Amino acid sequence: MEDANIYVLIGEEGFTRLVGAFYSQVPKDDILGPMYPEHERRAAEQRLRDFLIYRFGGPEKYIAERGHPRLRARHLPFHINRAARDRWMQLMNNAFAEAALPPEAEQLLRAFFEQMSTFMIQAAPAPTGTIAT
Ligand code: HEM
C-alpha cells in the first residue's frame, strides 16, 4: 500500500481515533506526562493528528499552520532518550490496539513510527574533558 492511500482508507476519523487513544494515556505516564504541558495537550494532539493526515495523503492543514515539519529539530528541546522513545512506541502500540484500524494501515503506520521515533533519539553529550571526534 502507498503512504498516500492511508488517508483514503481510514479518513480523518481513523487518525483522530488513533491519536486520541495515544494522547489519553499521556497525562498519567511518568516519562511522557511531564514533557507535555497540560494546557498544551489538546493543541499537541491536534498537531500530531494534522501532521499524520498531511503525511499520509490528506489535506495539508498542518503545513498551512506549522510550515515544514522539521520534526527532529522540533523535538530537540525534549531530551528524548531510548527509554522515552520506547515508552512513546508503547503508548502508540496501545493506541493501535484500541483504534482497531485496518491491518494494512496499521502495519504501514507502525513501521513509520518505529523508524521516526528511533530517529528522534538524541545522542548523549560526550563527557566533559573528552575530545569530540
Ligand atoms: C520518540 C518519542 C517522542 C517523544 C518523547 C515526543 C514528544 C513530543 C513533544 C513533547 C511534543 C510537543 C507537543 C506539542 O506541543 O506539539 C511533540 C510534538 C510533535 N511530535 Fe513528537 N515525540 C516523539 C516522537 C514522535 C514521532 C515518532 C512523531 C511522528 C512521526 C512525532 C510527531 C510530532 C509532531 C508532528 C509534533 C508537533 C510539531 C509541531 O508542529 O510543533 N513525535 N513531540
- Give the predicted TM-score (pTM) of the model: 0.92
Instruction: Report angle CA 114, 48, 31 to the nearest 5 degrees.
Output: 65
Which whole number is the average pLDDT over 83-88?
98
Gap from CA of 2 to ligand 1 centroid (Å): 23
pLDDT at 70 over 80: yes
* CA torsion angle 63 103 87 31 (round to 10): 60
Residues 2-33 pLDDT 10s: 999 999 999 999 999 999 999 999 999 999 99
Q: Whose CA is nearest to atom 26 of ligand 1?
A: 117
Which whole number is the average pLDDT over 85-113?
98
Gap from CA of 104 to ligand 1 centroid (Å): 24
